[in-house]
Amino acid sequence: MTRMLIIGPPGSGKGTQADRISERLGVVAISTGDIFRANVKGETPLGVEAKKYMDAGDFVPDSVTNKMVRDRLGEDDVENGFLLDGYPRTTAQVDYLDEILAIGEQKLDVVLQLTADDEELVHRLLGRAKETGRSDDNEAVIRHRLDLYHEQTEAVVAKYAERGILTQVDGIGGIDEVTDRVMQAIKAAQAA
């Protein structure tokens, strides 16, 4: 049973690594960004609401995001654990997640942070923009998303560091190389 988070700046490869961890540990990966994008694509009311924030590189309001995560964590497939990718991103979301977990008498085992230098991330994301045409991958929006990460999500990381469940992994390198580091870090954290 593993309940874990993966946190990292935009472009750090957290989605890719989350899919691999999910496969290897047999836990469901839940990406709030993916859920929002699926809703945008399906033009659901949630998608229409989220799109304006996503296109500007802003966070979708906590009230919307928290409810979505609560509903998702209420589904049956998370009974054997989960890997949350992209949530929590604000300290208010940390508090909310604490409340959801407390109701089920659950706790997080590991919080994994992928680290990377800002300029490397901008370079990577501009490359991804050409391939995927994601509407939030242009330079001004990318820099704004990075600023939000530093301003808000680093405080989230600090909270988990204080609790002693944070493990950091260098996200620069080949995808397989980073996966090896990630799997080793998870093993070490679980053994601790």
Active site residues: 14, 89, 128, 134, 145
- In the chain, where does DSSP find H-type helix? 14-25, 32-41, 45-56, 62-73, 91-103, 118-132, 139-148, 154-162, 175-191
Q: Does 72 bind ligand AMP (CB under 6 A)?
A: no
Kindly state the smallest distance separating residue 79's Cβ from ligand AMP, in Å: 22
Binding to ligand AMP in span 141-180, by CB under 6 A: 145
* Contact indicator for 104, 87 with CB cutoff of 8 Å: no
The stretch among 22-30, 55-63, 74-82, 105-113 that binds ligand AMP (CB under 6 A) is 55-63
> Considering the complex, what minimum distance in angstroms separates the CB of residue 141 from ligand AMP?
9
Each residue 34-53 as x (binds ligand AMP by CB under 6 A) or -, in order, gives --x----------------x
Sign of CA dihedral 38, 40, 43, 49: positive
The one-letter code for the residue type at 40 is: V
Number of residues that bind ligand AMP (CB under 6 A): 17
